Amino acid sequence: MGQTTINIKNKRARFEYHLEDEFTAGIVLAGTEIKSIRNNKASILEAFCVLQNGEVFIRNMFINEYANSSFYKHKPKGDRKLLLNQREIAKLEKWMKVKGNTIIPLKVFISEKGWAKVVIACAKGKKLHDKREDMKAKDDKREMERALKG
């Protein structure tokens, strides 16, 4: 391919959620969508996954319209199907039956074969005090590293 690596991440995911299992899934995309992803014109900050009829879809994933496309343009925030095997879908269905659980995307990348892939995680939302504890632990770690250096 000869292009730079694709770096589309959900940076807020680890701050907002407790992450459990991670899965790597393929995405069903149109031609203009994959071209936009290869140009790093996508965002998964507001995206989440839903289960419908035994299939997994990603919602609110923003893929900018491809600049050089002609009359055919995709919907920037349309639902996109994720490709997972039956065992993984069964685990996700079981996870979603518990109230408060969700499935969020962590990262979008292009595989060695040139396929678009997304890393999704089973997540539980953090409370405000959990976020404060994480920030405090991060600050303490940073101060310890500074003390050891200096």
> Measured between alpha carbons, how far is 1 from 5 in angstroms, rounded to an integer?
10
What CATH number does residue 106 fall under? 2.40.280.10
Q: Tell me the pTM.
A: 0.79
Domain that holds residue 49: 8-149
**Per-position b or e across 78-94, b if 16+ CB within 10 A of its CB:** eebebebeeebbeebee
Render pLDDT for 14-54 as a digit per residue (tens, 0 to 9). Answer: 888 888 899 999 999 888 888 888 888 888 999 999 999 99
Mean pLDDT of 114-125: 91
Which single residue is written with the structure tokens 């995405």?
A: 27
Task: For residue 122, tell me if it sits in a domain.
Answer: yes
* 69: CB partners within 8 A, 6+ apart: 32, 35
Render pLDDT for 54-111 as a digit per residue (tens, 0 to 9). Answer: 999 999 998 888 777 666 777 778 889 999 999 999 999 999 888 888 999 999 999 8
Q: How far is CA 138 from CA 46, 85, 106, 134, in A?
A: 24, 37, 20, 6
Query: Concatenated DSSP letters for 19-75?
Result: EEEEEEEEE---HHHHHHHHTT-EE-TT-EEEEETTEEEEES-EEPPPTT--S----
Task: For residue 1, tell me if it sits in a domain.
Answer: no
Task: For residue 3, tell me if it sits in a domain.
Answer: no
Task: For residue 144, tell me if it sits in a domain.
Answer: yes
**How many folded domains does the chain comprise?**
1
Q: How confident is the model at residue 1 (pLDDT cuts 50, 70, 90)?
A: very low
Q: How confident is the model at residue 128 (pLDDT cuts 50, 70, 90)?
A: confident
Structure tokens at 119: 């890393």
